[in-house]
Amino acid sequence: MTGGARATGGCVGGRPTRREFLRLAGFGAGALVLSGCGLLSGGRGDLPALSRPAPTGRVLEYTLEAAPTNFEIAGRELSTWGYNGGVPGPEIRVKEGDTLRVRVRNRLPAGTTVHWHGLPVPNEVDGVPHVTQSPIPPGGEFVYEFAAPAIGSYIYHSHVGLQLDRGLYGPLVVEPAREELSYDREYILMLDDWLDGLPGTPEDALGELRGSGRGMMGGMMRARGIEYPNYLINGRAPEDPASLTVRRGERVRLRLMNPSAETVFRFAPAGHRMTVTHADGQAIGPVEADVLRIGMGERYDVLLDADNPGVWQLAAVPEGKRGQARAVLRYRESAEESAPPADVQPPELQGRLLSYADLRDARERSFPDGGLFSGPDRTFELTLSGGMGRYVWQIDGQRYPEAEPLPVREGEWVRVQMRNHSMMAHPMHLHGHFFQLRNGTGCGPFKDTALVEAHMGELAFDFVADNPGEWFFHCHNAYHMETGMARVISYAGGA
């Protein structure tokens, strides 16, 4: 390598940047680069950047009113905060390229914002308080407007403090212009952990977590997470489950989403095998599984073949905690049968668990990795730590909001490598981009949230810096985020 071939900036280990490599290697537009996943075109097509759909010209308008609301679970009346009087909030559904215009009215006694979790929207409508906008004040209004940039299953939610854990979330589905999957019915299942009674509001729970050394509850919660008194699917307790009706012979699509604040769920349908088709909204090579592990902020789409009449438990067991959430799959042919008892756990929970290593991008896109001169333009090696003693969580030893931004430049191939020095798993979420998991397959799935396992778990991903702005990167455990586990990835000043 000559001196002139060395990177001028942002490059780890002095290797040429991707652009320089391609120029040196003589690749122009239309040339081919052999990658671990097949052939990819060279030139600007060499990085798997997001291709945004053509605008349809359609504008879909929604209004979300965030307000205190009374909410019933299993016959008990509770007060919480929600959108449009319910938990979850109303379903938002658009087609790719449609313009979504959402008027948010704040009737809460606190400032709020709405974040479009997983969607690479323009930075100014990303809804992160004090990063992309000021919180909408009580009594105020804000209009979010953007063209739906990618198909898939997403979650909208408040990004202020612990408001997510009160119920300020709902589903957002972006449909393709033409659906390629064949199925007869679709259901959305939103898994949630629900505080009522002890320990009270999310702020009370955080007080317990922070009350270092005082009493058993805080200590147990710090080490193992919050034992919630209820786990819900679509806002319904196990005693009063949501019922999903099917007919024998149908194929059913489930969009599984975990907007919970603090709970990783294991989801398994009794009597049926799942074919997993999408991870965080993005198509993967279809893969069969009995059990899915879904971290906070993650989504999976699955297909079930309804070939086993009956009334079946769809169970979501909170990992490391007691209890379960459930819905019921009910065949019309079995309309008279009663549902299984709320606490029955399907034997399928002991079956084949989907792992990240099973996931491959459906289009076999990949970064042109593996060559002598080919690698990311910039690498961040980050430790995840916290939870011992004081209830403080950190990324690479720094705590938000004091933490320094992580600089990138537009067009770069960025790698993030994480190592978890703590005793809890962290679902790490990147705003504004999809990243490709480095899962050993050479063409891992494109996701926006991924679990880094406890006790020295490691995880790495790559992304293309193709959406300028100030982007939040954080743990999707609401309590970890609130106590420091966040950084800003900044396109400004990357050197």
Residue 76 or 224 with smaller CB distance to Cu ion? 224
Stretch that binds Cu ion, among 272-280, 330-338, 413-421, 425-433 (CB under 5 A): 425-433
Q: How far is the CB of 478 from Cu ion (least distance, A)?
A: 9
Q: How far is the CB of 172 from Cu ion (least distance, A)?
A: 23
Stretch that binds Cu ion, among 4-12, 65-73, 142-150, 469-477 (CB under 5 A): 469-477
Dmax (CA) for the chain in angstroms is: 78
Would you say the C-alpha torsion 89, 93, 96, 97 has a positive or negative sign? negative
Q: How far is the CB of 475 from Cu ion (least distance, A)?
A: 3
**Residue matched to tokens 């122009």:** 28
Q: How far is the CB of 95 from Cu ion (least distance, A)?
A: 34
% helix, strand, coil for the chain, step of 5: 10, 40, 50
Q: How far is the CB of 233 from Cu ion (least distance, A)?
A: 23
Per-residue tokens: 196: 């009522």
Separation between Cα atoms, residue 356 and residue 361, nearest integer Å: 11
Residue 298 or 301 with smaller CB distance to Cu ion? 298
Stretch that binds Cu ion, among 13-21, 59-67, 100-108, 422-430 (CB under 5 A): 422-430
Mask for 378-417, x = binds Cu ion (CB under 5 A): ----------------------------------------
- The full DSSP string for 436-463 is EE--SSSSPPEESEEEEPTTT-EEEEEE
Separation between Cα atoms, residue 210 and residue 206, nearest integer Å: 6
Q: How far is the CB of 435 from Cu ion (least distance, A)?
A: 17
What values do phi and psi take at 459, rounded to 5? -155, 145
Residue 166 or 426 with smaller CB distance to Cu ion? 426
Separation between Cα atoms, residue 362 and residue 344, nearest integer Å: 35
Separation between Cα atoms, residue 325 and residue 237, nearest integer Å: 7
For β-strands 141-147 and 59-73, DSSP reports them as unpaired
Residue 94 or 416 with smaller CB distance to Cu ion? 416
CA distance between the termini of the chain: 22
Residue 385 or 477 with smaller CB distance to Cu ion? 477
Residue 306 or 425 with smaller CB distance to Cu ion? 425
Q: How far is the CB of 130 from Cu ion (least distance, A)?
A: 20
Residue 359 or 395 with smaller CB distance to Cu ion? 395
Decide: helix, strand or coil at residue 347.
Answer: helix
Decide: helix, strand or coil at residue 293.
Answer: strand
Listed residue (183, 181, 155) closest to 169, CA to CA: 155
Q: How far is the CB of 395 from Cu ion (least distance, A)?
A: 10
Q: Is residue 475 involved in binding Cu ion (CB under 5 A)?
A: yes
Stretch that binds Cu ion, among 33-41, 101-109, 292-300, 480-488 (CB under 5 A): 480-488
Residue 22 or 475 with smaller CB distance to Cu ion? 475
Q: How far is the CB of 406 from Cu ion (least distance, A)?
A: 17
Listed residue (143, 162, 166, 146) closest to 154, CA to CA: 146
- The full DSSP string for 168-209 is -EEEEEEE-SS--S--SEEEEEEEEEE--STT-SHHHHHHHH
Residue 295 or 432 with smaller CB distance to Cu ion? 295
Residue 225 or 346 with smaller CB distance to Cu ion? 225
Q: How far is the CB of 441 from Cu ion (least distance, A)?
A: 26
Stretch that binds Cu ion, among 2-10, 132-140, 258-266, 472-480 (CB under 5 A): 472-480
What values do phi and psi take at 43, rounded to 5? 60, -140
Applying CB under 5 A, which of residues 153, 230, 449, 477 lies at the interface with Cu ion? Answer: 477
C-alpha distances out from residue 335 to 237, 268, 342, Å: 21, 22, 18
Stretch that binds Cu ion, among 91-99, 199-207, 338-346, 426-434 (CB under 5 A): 426-434
Q: Is residue 253 involved in binding Cu ion (CB under 5 A)?
A: no
Separation between Cα atoms, residue 344 and residue 326, nearest integer Å: 10
Applying CB under 5 A, which of residues 426, 433, 438, 487 lies at the interface with Cu ion? Answer: 426
Q: How far is the CB of 262 from Cu ion (least distance, A)?
A: 9
Q: Is residue 474 involved in binding Cu ion (CB under 5 A)?
A: no
Binding-site size for Cu ion (CB under 5 A) equals 4
Separation between Cα atoms, residue 185 and residue 329, nearest integer Å: 12
Q: Is residue 365 involved in binding Cu ion (CB under 5 A)?
A: no
Q: Is residue 480 involved in binding Cu ion (CB under 5 A)?
A: yes
Q: How many residues does the chain have?
A: 495
**Contacting residues toward Cu ion, per CB under 5 A:** 426, 475, 477, 480
